[in-house]
Amino acid sequence: MIFPFVWRILPGPAALKVIELLVVLTAIVWVLFTFVFPWVAADILPPPDGTVDVSPSP
């Protein structure tokens, strides 16, 4: 698994490792929301169809 590998390579005692992991996870989430998700929404997903078909009711 990846978590034991990451836990081993982080320096410091356990409390510092927890703080480092939180910082790394926060940075990953920030990068995803700032760069990756907007790129996916703009370039890969089709634009939403904004038209509404209003047919007359009989």
pTM for the structure as a whole: 0.67
Q: Comparing 42 with 37, which gets the higher pLDDT?
A: 37
Given a cut of 70, is residue 57 above it in pLDDT?
A: no
Q: What is the pLDDT of residue 55?
A: 75
What pLDDT digit, counting tens, does each position of 2-34 carry? 788 888 999 999 999 999 999 999 999 999 999
Given a cut of 80, is residue 51 above it in pLDDT?
A: no
Rounded Cα–Cα distance for residues 24 and 9 (Å): 13
Only one residue has tokens 């480092």, namely 20
Rounded Cα–Cα distance for residues 18 and 21 (Å): 5
Q: What is the pLDDT of residue 7?
A: 87
